[in-house]
Amino acid sequence: MKFLFRFDKPRDSQVDMMKDIYTALSNGKNILMNAPTGIGKTDASLSAAITYAIDNDKDIFFLTPKISQHKIAIDVLKGLRDKFNLNITYVDVVGKKNMCINPEINNISDSSFYNACEALIKKNKCPYFNRIKHYDLDEDKDMIDAFASGHNEIFQQSYKKGLCPYEVSMKFAKKANIVIAGYSHILNPYTKQTFLKKLSRDLSNSIVIWDEAHNIFNSAVSYFSSSLSEVVINRAAAELEAINSDIDISFLSFELSKLASKKLTLEKYESFVDPEDFLADESKLFGDMIPEIEKAGMMYIENMHAKRSALMHIASFLTGWEMGDESTTRIIGRFNGKVELKLSNLYPEKALSVFKEAYSNIFMSGTLIPLDMYKDLFGTINADTKSYKSPFLKGNQFVAIDGEVSTKFSGRNTDLYKAIAKKINKIYESIPGNTSVFFPSFSILDSTYRYLDLSKINSVFIQRGNMSNIEIERIIKNFKVSKKGLMLGVMGGSLSEGINYDNNSIKCVVIVGIPLTKPDLELQARINYMNKKFHNSGNEYVYTIPAVIRAIQAAGRAIRSETDKASIIFMDNRYEWKNYKFLLKNFFTLYEGDDYLSEIAKFWEKNIDVDSDLSHHNI
């Protein structure tokens, strides 16, 4: 089979990948692929899918968990189209909130934005939307050219012309063979039907490529989870007062307090709740009450020019409470001294059922291990599974486990944080360039940071909780150009996943601890649910394996190309445990000696770029 490929020659692993995808597509099957970083999985997947789609009249959706990951897909498609003069059309679609140029509503947060947008459209009061009705896309060459460059250019051109960028994108998407979008457009059942209806298609004739597929499960769970607290209720009551509404929600405070007194004690800070324990006498009013609360929330946003509404949040919670099923767990707890009632989804079957609608799904990730676990989770038991070798030379990386410390909860104390800080200082001094350290939580990061010897560190870049995207981008940009920086972040965060630290800008990654989920009632409920659903594999599926995969994802930030060289240290004695070490060995060749600091020095003596300025490095 001759595949459409934008470069002169694919790597051997890319050839294997394309053949495996084409075979799966020819048989109308799904395929799950563990494709290590650097293999070029975006090129391989799109090349194989397009080669098949052109001959078999199929559409393609390329879906990612983050907007920042769209660009590589656009580059691939543009390269293929230009090289082969292909008659394909593609469009980069991002969420309506990110594309809105209407100053009346584009600062509104969360789901409230979508209600505000819909209300404006229904009232015929959005001029940017209204102009679309008389807009002829086929006559606008500038806009058509913009589609080749992605959503940023679409946004700029639409803004110049006073058109709704999202509606312009969707207008073009109706004609496109290939749509690049976020997970939520297809995975979220609350938005999927509206999105596909706008495109005038279903998924039965579509190939869906899921990039970074290890994120699918957690993304799907988030669509069905919500919470209610006294703080939210008080804010909602203040909103009702601000708009002079006669709606009374005081019963929510009463019911929440009554439930807390029944279920919680000084020693017992969280408890499971049955559906009939809360609002059982009021449930018959839900049908009338929820729309009224939503309407009041929208009135508050419009009248007060607010960014968000607690009333909208309450309406969403009550809807979830009413619609919850056996996969929903309800937990009341006292968190940070405040009572909160949580709705959490244990297994998002309503979202994952979308996989059955597509002609074929291609799931790919650099950490889709174990493949059989993901077959279970996705409900794709008959799917093909493939794993590919890393294209990177083993000699380009030094990987070791430091088994002298552990961040296990029972052992956390001042002596531990001092020991970790001392080790980080020593490692940093041995590295000819930037070092990144990723922790399991901000608490452990902060506790360790205070004991670092900053006098021996050139520059420090620290991730904090709730940082904006702009702040995160600034850290990444400044760290990349640093010659000898130390970056501190958390695993599973914005600095440790989905970021390409190019030009070998990280010479060393230190993984401190294991980012295990907090062992609370929600985790217990999810493990129990998964045990019943997946042959007693709940603990591995939702606790241990995801934690190690997050650590491996963070470690992978150091090696991004075939020429990159890096040292990686997993600093926790639990990585020596059989089940954890087995996962690590799927990705790394581990140093098994006792003195990894000396070996790091030897590694860099052999691998340091002779042109580097070593005057400030202790090697």
Does pLDDT of 541 surpass 70? yes
Can you tell me the mean pLDDT for 457-477?
Answer: 91
Q: How confident is the model at residue 614 (pLDDT cuts 50, 70, 90)?
A: very low
**pLDDT reported for residue 112:** 86
Does pLDDT of 90 surpass 90? yes
Separation of CA 289 from chain center: 34
Cβ–Cβ < 8 Å for 90, 176: yes
Q: How far apart are CA 77 and CA 79, in angstroms?
A: 5
**pLDDT reported for residue 67:** 86
Q: How confident is the model at residue 283 (pLDDT cuts 50, 70, 90)?
A: low
Cβ–Cβ < 8 Å for 491, 440: yes
**pLDDT reported for residue 1:** 78
Note the helical H segments in 111-209.
112-122, 127-130, 141-147, 151-161, 165-173, 183-187, 189-199
Give the pLDDT confidence of 62-88 residue by residue, as tens digits: 999 988 889 999 999 999 999 999 999
Give the pLDDT confidence of 368-424 residue by residue, as tens digits: 999 999 999 999 999 999 999 887 778 899 999 999 999 999 999 999 999 999 999
- Determine the topology of domain 226-345 in CATH: Fumarase C; Chain B, domain 1 (1.10.275)
- Determine the topology of domain 1-88+179-220+348-391 in CATH: Rossmann fold (3.40.50)
Q: Sheet containing 485-490: give its strands across.
A: 459-462, 485-490, 435-439, 508-512, 566-571, 397-402, 590-591
Q: How confident is the model at residue 609 (pLDDT cuts 50, 70, 90)?
A: low
Q: Do 1-88+179-220+348-391 and 226-345 fold alike per CATH?
A: no
Does pLDDT of 101 surpass 70? yes
Q: How far apart are CA 19 and CA 384, in angstroms?
A: 12
Joined together, the tokens standing for residue 601 give 């020095």
| Torsion sign over Cα 31, 189, 495, 408 | negative
What burial class does residue 247 get, using C-beta atoms within 10 Å of its C-beta: 0-12 exposed, 13-18 middle, 19+ buried?
Answer: middle
Considering the domain 394-607 in this protein, what is its CATH number?
3.40.50.300
**pLDDT reported for residue 317:** 94
Cβ–Cβ < 8 Å for 3, 50: no
Please tell me the pTM assigned to this model. Answer: 0.89
Q: How far apart are CA 117 and CA 544, in angstroms?
A: 42
Average pLDDT across the chain, whole number = 92
Does pLDDT of 602 surpass 90? yes
Give the pLDDT confidence of 223-237 residue by residue, as tens digits: 999 999 999 999 999
Q: Where are the domains of the chain?
A: 1-88+179-220+348-391, 89-176, 226-345, 394-607
Does pLDDT of 49 surpass 80? yes
**pLDDT reported for residue 617:** 33
Joined together, the tokens standing for residue 224 give 């069905």
